[in-house]
Amino acid sequence: MTSGFDISVVILNWNTERLLRRCIASIKSSTKTGVDYEIIVVDNASEDGSRAMVTSEFPDVKLVTNKKNIGFGAGNNRGAALARGRYILFLNSDTEMHEDCLLKMMRYADEHLEVGIIGPKLLNTDGSLQYSCRHYPNLATGFFRNTPLGRLFPANRHNSDYLMSSWDHATNRNVDWVSGAALMIRRETANEVGMFDEDYFMYCEDVDLCRRVNMARRSMAPEENWKVTYVPSASITHFIGRSSDKVPTRMTYEFHRSQYLFYRKHYLHSTPIVLRPLIPVGIIMRALGQLIRYRVKHILTRLRQRQHAQGNHSETRE
C-alpha cells in the first residue's frame, strides 16, 4: 500500500471504552507538529460502547470492527493491513502518550536506518519505570519468573537479567525485545520479516516478532541485521492489563499456551532431548499454580466482601 503518512498508529481495543478515549485524546494532544499520522482502531467485538464512542467522538479515526475477539496478533495485523504510514506503531488502548512521543520515535528511526523496531519508555501510573525491554526468556526465566521459587528468592539474578533491571533505562540501547504495548516497526522491516504470528492469541507475539527482526538481514544492507532499539526519550504511561484482567483464567491459559508455542518455535531444537518432555510439564504446572492462586484470591476477596456487608448490616440494625 502506498505510504501517505509518517506513522500509522494501530490501537487494538477490547472493552476499554474509557481508556481508549483517553488514549486517542493523548495522541492528538501530544502531537502538535512535525508528524503526519493516522489512527486506526481495531475493535475485537467489544460490548461496552467503544465502537460508538470512536465513531461519534473521533470521526477522523479509522475504525475496524471484528465480529469476534480474534486475538492480539491477528487484530493488530488487520489494522496494519490498512496502514499507510512509513512506520506502524502498535499501541495498547490502555496507554497515554507523552509530549512529542511520535516525533521522537520517528526522528530516531529516520536517523538510524538499521533500526527495524523501536520501543519507547513505558511508565506506571505513579511515574515509575516499567521494564518494557528485556532479554529473551530462557529455562531459568521459567523457573524464577512469577513462581514460588522466584518469590522465595526475589533478588535472583535470573529475574534481574531477564528484566534488565540493573540498567537505568535512561539511554538508547539495542535490546532483544520490546513490549507490544507500544511497538513501532519500520514498513521495510515488516515487508521483509512479516507482522505478528497469529498462532499466538495473546502474549509472546511481541517477543516472537522482535526475535525474527533481530535475526533477519536487511535487504538494503545484507551485511547487517535489523536492530530492535529502546528509545527512552519517547515515553508513554501504560495502565497494565486493563483488558486481560477481565478474564484472568482465559488469559492464564493463553499466556502459558503462548510460552509453549514460543519454546517450540525457537528453542525446541537447541534443547537437549532428555529435557524436552519436561518443558510442557513445567509450563502446565506453572499454569495450574497460577490458576490456584487466582482462585484462592477470589475466594478470600468474596469472604471479605461478605464479612464487610454483614458488618454494615449489623450496624444498620443497631
Q: How confident is the model at residue 214 (pLDDT cuts 50, 70, 90)?
A: very high
Res 307: pLDDT: 75
> Residues 135-161: pLDDT tens digits?
998 766 665 665 665 566 566 676 788
Pairwise CA distance, residues 12 & 63, whole Å: 10
pLDDT at 3: 54
- How confident is the model at residue 81, as a pLDDT? 97
**What does the pLDDT read at residue 278?**
81
Residue pointed to by grid coordinates 513505558 = 122
How confident is the model over 71-79, as a mean pLDDT?
Answer: 97
Amino acid at 115: V
Q: What is the per-residue pLDDT for 144?
A: 60
All three cell numbers of 93, joined, read: 488502548
Whole-prediction pTM: 0.85
263: nearest Cα among 133, 142, 135: 142
pLDDT cut 90: percent of the chain above it: 62
pLDDT-derived band at 68 (thresholds 50, 70, 90) equals: very high
Q: At what angle do helices 248-266 and 278-317 cross, to 10 degrees?
A: 170
SS3 77: helix
